[in-house]
A and B are shown apart, each in its own frame.
Chain A
Amino acid sequence: MAKSKSSLGVGRLLIAAYAVLALAATGRAGYELAAKFNEAPLPYALSATSALIYILATIALSRSTSGWRKVAYAAVIVELSGVLLIGTASLIWPELFTFNGKLVKTVWSFFGIAYGFVPVALPVLGLLWLRKTKAAQ
């Protein structure tokens, strides 16, 4: 009993980390879409997509019903694929992200280096957390 309670606590920390990232990505994407979307549509659309996924993951992880758990799984897996794909693409094909001779970054560029690699660490922790809580049920 005590153990499941403490693991719930760690889960709260994960949700808090997701909330911070959701807020950061939303703030960034909101600014990019409002102020300069036409300068670099692809990277800014990607930032907005990541913001939506973080919001969805934050909500889904904070609910414990089986439906929301599925949503949480989906959101976290999409997020992990996104950060791995975009992270790799930003390294191999920087020209995809170059507009008017300037490299435009997204939340997921270089595996989230601008956010201390939190974007690549969180989905892994999220998957571990989802697996662990399922085992506890």
Chain B
Amino acid sequence: MVELFFQIQVWAAAAIGLILLCFGLAKRKPSLISIGGLAIIQLGLLVQLVFSIILVAGGSRAKGDTVEFFAYIIVALIVPIGAAFWALIERTRWSTYVLGVGGLTVAIMLARMHQIWFG
């Protein structure tokens, strides 16, 4: 169940990141849709954080290092916030690329978190 959620999250973040890079290529400025894409990723990360806290409180541990797992999730939570702020401050197509890079970064971090949790 948790594993399936992880998989969906990784692929969703990667897909959103790629779509936003395409938006950038199409010279679109950041919009409610593109920033919304990152909001979806952020929501997924928050659900993941709550899930993980409940699991760890219930006695589960990562196959790797649990502390490292939480370090990743906290840093990952900063990425969409930073990218979204950037897009709000600078409303050019380059910010759309920044949003895309942010999405892909979270996807990579989630893949690494999956590795740490499941071994």
Interface of chain A: mostly helix, strand, loop or mixed = helix
- Give me 15 other A-B pairs in contact (C-beta within 8 A), A19-B82, A27-B71 excluded: A9-B94, A10-B94, A12-B92, A12-B98, A13-B97, A16-B83, A16-B101, A23-B75, A23-B79, A26-B75, A27-B72, A27-B74, A27-B75, A28-B71, A31-B71
Shortest beta-carbon contacts, A-B, top 8? A27-B75, A9-B94, A31-B71, A16-B98, A12-B94, A20-B105, A35-B67, A13-B97
By size class, the interface of chain B is 20 to 34
Q: In the complex, what residue of chain A is closest to B99 when comparing beta carbons?
A: A16
* Binary contact track B79-119/A, C-beta < 8 Å → 1, others 0: 10011001000101111011001100100000000000000
Return chain A residues, CB-CB under 8 Å to B72: 27
Closest residue of chain B to A5 (Cβ to Cβ) is: B92
